[in-house]
């Protein structure tokens, strides 16, 4: 990581800040895109307040990064929002916002970074979710955005392989990144790290998650199911999908009581 330039979206949140700290410790130059500026201060850190769903603002912010650091070696698409509402109760504006932040913005940022990543033979990291490969009750918009994200980056990986640009997809289970927040039913968008009534299995700390993600970057890993729950969910959904749905629904429905 030493001397490399990393662009990270969602850098002011729990997982984002943990990634920033570890990247800085490793000697990387770090640029952050977020709706709020990071509280972390360092000479090799550029924190930019920007709405990544606005293409013109995104272009201006990206130009600042290139002016400051001159190149991009690693792009980490970490920004994400979620919701807790059945599809029939989810406003179109909520659905559209989640798709815009989680999927469309990551595509647009990747498009901007791609010429620089090809030049540096760099890496793209996509922070997905268990909802990116398995169904999730009451999170149809979130699940759709993460499925779209995975489909896009898996396809892109096949296109960029000959250009020596590596793509790494990370699908965490629950990362305890916003313990001060409580997820609310039918309340629009919320943070994926907000606490819920029922969280199955081990809750991963942001520091743990960041350490495993950076190890995956260093090892040029292709896919990481982060946490025991993510691994179990993958195999259960793959081998016994009806059992997975029954277990998942039983737990997820408790949030709506």
Active site residues: 142
Whole-angstrom distance, CA of residue 152 vs CA of residue 107: 8
Q: Which residues pair with 171 in a beta bridge?
A: 225
Helix (H, G, I), strand (E, B) or coil at 42: coil
- As given in the structure block, the two tokens for residue 98 are 């989640």
Burial of 162 (C-beta count, 10 Å sphere; 0-12/13-18/19+): exposed
Q: Which residues pair with 35 in a beta bridge?
A: none
Q: What is the DSSP letter of 201?
A: S
Q: Which residues pair with 127 in a beta bridge?
A: 170
- As given in the structure block, the two tokens for residue 16 are 């984002």
Whole-angstrom distance, CA of residue 117 vs CA of residue 73: 6
- Helix (H) or strand (E) segment spanning residue 168: strand 166-172
Helix (H, G, I), strand (E, B) or coil at 139: strand
Is the Cβ–Cβ distance between 36 and 11 less than 8 Å?
Answer: no
Q: Please state, in angstroms and as integers, the Cα–Cα distance from residue 257 to each residue in 90, 170, 182, 249, 250, following that order.
A: 17, 31, 15, 13, 12
Whole-angstrom distance, CA of residue 194 vs CA of residue 154: 28
């Amino acid at each position: 990581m030493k001397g490399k330039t990393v662009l990270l979206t969602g850098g002011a949140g729990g997982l984002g800040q943990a990634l920033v700290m570890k990247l800085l410790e490793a000697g990387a130059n770090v640029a952050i895109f977020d709706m709020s500026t990071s509280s972390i201060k360092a000479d090799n850190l550029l924190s930019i307040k920007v709405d990544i769903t606005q293409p013109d603002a995104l272009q201006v912010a990206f130009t600042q990064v290139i002016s400051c650091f001159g190149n991009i070696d690693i792009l980490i698409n970490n920004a994400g929002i979620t919701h807790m509402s059945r599809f029939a109760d989810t406003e179109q504006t909520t659905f559209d916002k989640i798709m815009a932040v989680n999927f469309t913005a990551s595509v647009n940022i990747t498009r901007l970074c791609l010429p620089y990543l090809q030049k540096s033979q760099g890496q793209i990291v996509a922070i997905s979710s268990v909802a990116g490969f398995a169904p999730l009750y009451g999170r149809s918009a979130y699940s759709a955005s993460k499925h779209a994200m995975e489909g896009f980056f898996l396809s892109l990986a096949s296109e960029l392989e000959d250009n020596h640009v590596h793509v790494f997809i990370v699908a965490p289970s629950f990362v305890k990144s916003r313990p001060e927040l409580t997820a609310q039913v039918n309340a629009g968008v919320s943070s994926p790290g907000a606490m819920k009534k029922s969280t199955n299995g081990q809750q991963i700390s942001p520091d743990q998650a960041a350490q495993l993600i950076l190890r995956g970057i260093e090892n040029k890993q292709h896919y990481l199911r982060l946490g025991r729950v993510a691994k179990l969910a993958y195999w259960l959904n793959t081998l016994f999908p009806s059992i997975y749905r029954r277990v998942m629904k039983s737990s997820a429905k408790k949030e709506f009581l």
